[in-house]
Amino acid sequence: MRAIARTLEIREQPGQPLRSTLIARLSERQLLLVLDNCEHVIQDVAPLAHEIVSQTGGAAILATSREALGLPGETKWVIPSL
């Protein structure tokens, strides 16, 4: 979450959790959020990705991972190793 906020230059607001600020700011945008190597942090990424997609109208997520995030509506593409 902090990496996403830092990359998108979203700062924590006084008295408000960063998660709430992030969701609110992403709700104002149309964007494709690319999350790479999610298998290392899947337990943190999956709930946040679900929250972003379900609570923002214009955010889509492309996540790379060796395992599915397990989210409703998720599409999984298997890409062979190089």
| Mean pLDDT, range 43-62, rounded to an integer | 93
Q: How confident is the model at residue 81 (pLDDT cuts 50, 70, 90)?
A: confident
**Which pLDDT belongs to residue 37?**
92
Cα 74 to Cα 50, 68, 81: the distances in Å are 10, 8, 21
**What digits encode the pLDDT tens for the residues 36-52?**
999 999 999 999 999 99
| Mean pLDDT, range 18-30, rounded to an integer | 92
Domain boundaries, the chain: 2-63
Q: What φ, ψ does residue 64 adopt, rounded to 5°?
A: -100, 135
pTM of the entire predicted model: 0.84
Q: How confident is the model at residue 53 (pLDDT cuts 50, 70, 90)?
A: very high
